[in-house]
Amino acid sequence: MVTEGDATIALAARLMDLLHGASTTTTYKYALLLALIDLCQENVGRRDGPTGSVTTRQVAERVVELYWPQTKQHVRTGKVLRQLSGPKRSIPDLVAEHRGRAPRQATTPHRARLADAAAFEDLIDEVEWVLIRYPIPLLQRLGGEDLAVLYSIRWREDPARGPVRRYQAALRERGTAAGGFDNRLCFLPDVEVRLAALSGLLRPLIRREWTRFVAQCNGDKIEDLEVFLFEPQREDLSACRAPLIELQQGRCFYCDERLNTAVDVDHFLPWSRCGDDGLHNLVAAHARCNNQKSDHLAASAHLSAWRERATKRSGDLVEIARQTATPFHADRSVRLARSMYGGIPAGAPLWKLRDEFEHADRARLVEALGEDAA
Ligand SMILES: [Zn+2]
């Protein structure tokens, strides 16, 4: 009998084949896989269950978010790092060119969209078209064979530009995906749940492979390359520090003691586990509490306080997001929390304070999420 655990491990093994097997000339497959993991994690946290598919548009938006911080000029080389072995323009080049034309304050995708929504949608159009042509049809191919371990699509390799252009125009004008192009990646049964379950294992592996490829493309060894590529951008968070401290009445979100000078803006759902940069997911904390929490999920009491803040201070949160040009997507953050806390095994360690942990308890977490046990 094949158990769910066996099936999940088998999927992980097939993904490793895809990551290592096929020769690679770009970092696209890493970006695509990370984007799919992000979207599956979110889908699994939907109240009415996973949707069974994602669209090329959703994938393109996530891929732009992943590449965006990587297209800053690297301090040592003074250039945008190359992510393609060859002379062609790559997705990071498209993002970098967009950043070059955007106003200075457009330091994040959210701010770039606020600065010029139409130009930003043009960028998403271009990135979506590259994804439709190359990595989405090619990701699952190994040795000329389509392994189809994750999803199926309705278009063939080398699709015509016309129908995609018409579909993109319809999407922008009417908000509906018309125009003769089916933009869905339809997941195979249970793939969303399994990808979400594997997130903690796959993310660091994919990041490491991605980093190794960028190092190869850029010649000599670049120190802290993985940090440069994947850590959250501290300067983008700094605008939120003062308003969050005020919202928390000068107290640390975790230990409730007075905040002093060393205050961090912390991602409540760890950045390394989900990449959620919405204001909903940000709290002010002592730098020491933030360091001790590290990449752990917070304990049920913290989860409960986080959910309560979302309900009771929703208006304030929206206002801070507006003032600081920080994205605000409460639904996405809640779905991610549901999926991440729902997916941990009973007894897993959750961080309380200092070096104390509690064992995950399903009933307590359901209550902390503010949901019915059903
Ligand atoms: Zn503290």
Same domain, residue pair 173 and 304: no
Q: What is the pTM of this model?
A: 0.95
At a CB cut-off of 8 Å and minimum separation 6, what does 190 contact?
4, 7
Q: What is the 12 CA–ligand 1 centroid distance (Å)?
A: 37
At a CB cut-off of 8 Å and minimum separation 6, what does 102 contact?
112, 115, 116, 119
Q: What is the 243 CA–ligand 1 centroid distance (Å)?
A: 17
Q: At what angle do helices 300-312 and 330-343 cross, to 10 degrees?
A: 160
Q: What is the 275 CA–ligand 1 centroid distance (Å)?
A: 23
Look at residue 374 and tell me if it is in a domain. no
What pLDDT was estimated at residue 199? Answer: 94
Q: Is the dihedral of CA 305, 306, 312, 313 positive or negative?
A: positive
CB atoms within 10 A of CB 106: 20
What pLDDT was estimated at residue 245? Answer: 97
What pLDDT was estimated at residue 24? Answer: 77
User: How many structural domains compose the chain?
Assistant: 2
Look at residue 212 and tell me if it is in a domain. yes
Look at residue 311 and tell me if it is in a domain. yes
Q: What is the 256 CA–ligand 1 centroid distance (Å)?
A: 6
Q: What is the 299 CA–ligand 1 centroid distance (Å)?
A: 14
Look at residue 273 and tell me if it is in a domain. yes
Q: What is the 347 CA–ligand 1 centroid distance (Å)?
A: 25
The vertex-269 CA angle with 353 and 321, nearest 5°, equals 115
Same domain, residue pair 274 and 208: no
Token pair of 263, please? 């205050």
Same domain, residue pair 218 and 245: no
Q: What is the 360 CA–ligand 1 centroid distance (Å)?
A: 22
Selection from 214, 90, 191 nearest residue 140 by Cα: 191
Domain boundaries, position 329? 235-368
Q: Decide: residue 305, CB within 10 A, 0-12 exposed, 13-18 middle, 19+ buried.
A: middle
Name the domain boundary from 230, 256, 284.
230
CA atoms within 13 A on the CB side of 160: 7
Same domain, residue pair 239 and 305: yes
Q: What is the 369 CA–ligand 1 centroid distance (Å)?
A: 22
Same domain, residue pair 266 and 204: no
Contact call for residues 33 and 105 (beta carbons, < 8 A): no
Q: What is the 354 CA–ligand 1 centroid distance (Å)?
A: 9
Same domain, residue pair 166 and 295: no
Same domain, residue pair 130 and 153: yes
Q: What is the 353 CA–ligand 1 centroid distance (Å)?
A: 8
What pLDDT was estimated at residue 220? Answer: 64
Q: What is the 255 CA–ligand 1 centroid distance (Å)?
A: 4
Same domain, residue pair 226 and 239: no
Name the domain boundary from 180, 196, 230.
230
Which residue positions in the chain have pLDDT lower than 70? 22, 75, 220, 372-374
| Spatial distance between the Cα atoms of 103 and 111, rounded to a whole number of angstroms | 9
**Alpha helices per DSSP H over the chain:** 4-21, 28-44, 56-67, 91-101, 109-115, 117-133, 135-138, 161-174, 191-217, 225-230, 234-237, 241-247, 271-274, 287-293, 300-312, 314-324, 330-343, 362-368
Same domain, residue pair 356 and 224: no
Q: What is the 200 CA–ligand 1 centroid distance (Å)?
A: 26
Same domain, residue pair 197 and 211: yes
Same domain, residue pair 251 and 212: no
Q: Is the dihedral of CA 141, 142, 146, 149 positive or negative?
A: negative
| Spatial distance between the Cα atoms of 338 and 318, rounded to a whole number of angstroms | 21
Q: What is the 308 CA–ligand 1 centroid distance (Å)?
A: 19
Q: Decide: residue 74, CB within 10 A, 0-12 exposed, 13-18 middle, 19+ buried.
A: middle
Q: What is the 286 CA–ligand 1 centroid distance (Å)?
A: 4
Q: What is the 249 CA–ligand 1 centroid distance (Å)?
A: 13
Q: What is the 69 CA–ligand 1 centroid distance (Å)?
A: 29
**3-state SS assignment for residue 267:** strand
Name the domain boundary from 180, 197, 230.
230
How big is the chain by its Cα radius of gyration, in Å? 21
Same domain, residue pair 195 and 255: no
What pLDDT was estimated at residue 374? Answer: 40
For residue 349, give the DSSP letter. Answer: E
| Spatial distance between the Cα atoms of 171 and 177, rounded to a whole number of angstroms | 5
Q: What is the 41 CA–ligand 1 centroid distance (Å)?
A: 29
Look at residue 373 and tell me if it is in a domain. no
Q: What is the 8 CA–ligand 1 centroid distance (Å)?
A: 37
Look at residue 222 and tell me if it is in a domain. yes
Q: Ligand 1 is a single-atom ion; what residues have CB below 5 A from it? A: 252, 254-255, 286, 289
